[in-house]
């Protein structure tokens, strides 16, 4: 996994403890409420989210601006396009 962290983000979604498909569903809902160009930081403990978030961004046209992991918590920075 590429480790990139962004200092600035506009909203935090804490999806830790949730299993697939809930992290993606909550990510979709949170992104809908954000203005274009804003960054959503998603935290999850679901290892399946690594592939799911990348696929979600690719199919929706949003940018996966960064990702990383620490102590079984995965973080994703998604820029709404």
Q: What is the CATH number of the domain that holds 44?
A: 3.30.110.40
Range of the domain at 74: 11-79
pLDDT tens per residue, range 37-80:
999 999 999 999 999 999 999 999 999 999 999 999 999 999 99
Look at residue 6 and tell me if it is in a domain. Answer: no
Question: 55-64 pLDDT, tens per residue?
Answer: 999 999 999 9
Q: Per the structure, how many domains does the chain have?
A: 1
Q: For the full predicted model, state whether its pTM sits above 0.95.
A: no
Do the domain assignments include residue 1? no
Question: To which residue do tokens 């930081």 refer?
Answer: 41
Let me know if residue 5 belongs to a domain.
Answer: no
Task: Assess contact for 3 and 34: CB atoms under 8 A.
Answer: no
Residues classed as catalytic = 20
**Does 38 map to a domain?**
yes
């Amino acid at each position: 996994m590429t480790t990139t962290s962004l200092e600035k983000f506009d909203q935090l979604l804490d999806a830790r403890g949730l299993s697939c498909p809930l992290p993606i569903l909550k990510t979709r809902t949170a992104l809908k409420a954000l203005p274009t160009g804003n960054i959503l930081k998603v935290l999850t403990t679901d290892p399946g989210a690594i592939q799911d978030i990348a696929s979600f961004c690719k199919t929706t046209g949003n940018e996966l601006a960064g990702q990383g992991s620490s102590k079984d918590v995965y973080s994703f920075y998604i820029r709404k396009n």
